[in-house]
Amino acid sequence: MSVVISRLRARRPSEMGRVPAIRINDLAQGSEHLPPTEGLRCFLEDDSRVIVRPSGTEPKLKVYREAIVTASTPSGLVAARAEAARRLAQVSAAIRALTTTT
């Protein structure tokens, strides 16, 4: 799986699911809040976030996705959840395309 991370690191995606990536952090660099670890964290223009890292115990890739959609009223919660699900589905499809070996 480190091959996939290396490939993503070398060719950082400019977008995921047609949403521009505004910042990509290489987690191997660490930060004042986190120790260095293998992986990338991508912040998207629509406030979505994706973390891609290899599993520590299995030969597979782990992907953590987050979509933030504000519900301005309690009645808007259903629509906000539907929008979040749509964004997560787009990101998932983009990650599959980016990480599939050809």
CATH architecture, domain defined by 2-99: 2-Layer Sandwich (3.30)
Given this model, what pLDDT does residue 3 score? 84
Per-residue pLDDT of the chain (102 residues; tens, 9 = 90+): 578 888 899 989 999 989 999 999 999 988 888 899 999 999 999 999 999 999 888 888 999 999 999 998 988 999 999 999 999 999 999 999 888 855
Buried b (16+ CB within 10 A) or exposed e, 13-32: beebbebebeebeebeeeee
Domain regions of the chain by residue span:
2-99
Given this model, what pLDDT does residue 59 score? 86
**Helix, strand or coil, per DSSP, at residue 16:** strand
pLDDT digits 0-9 by tens, 80-97:
999 999 999 999 999 998
**pTM, full prediction:** 0.85
Given this model, what pLDDT does residue 1 score? 57
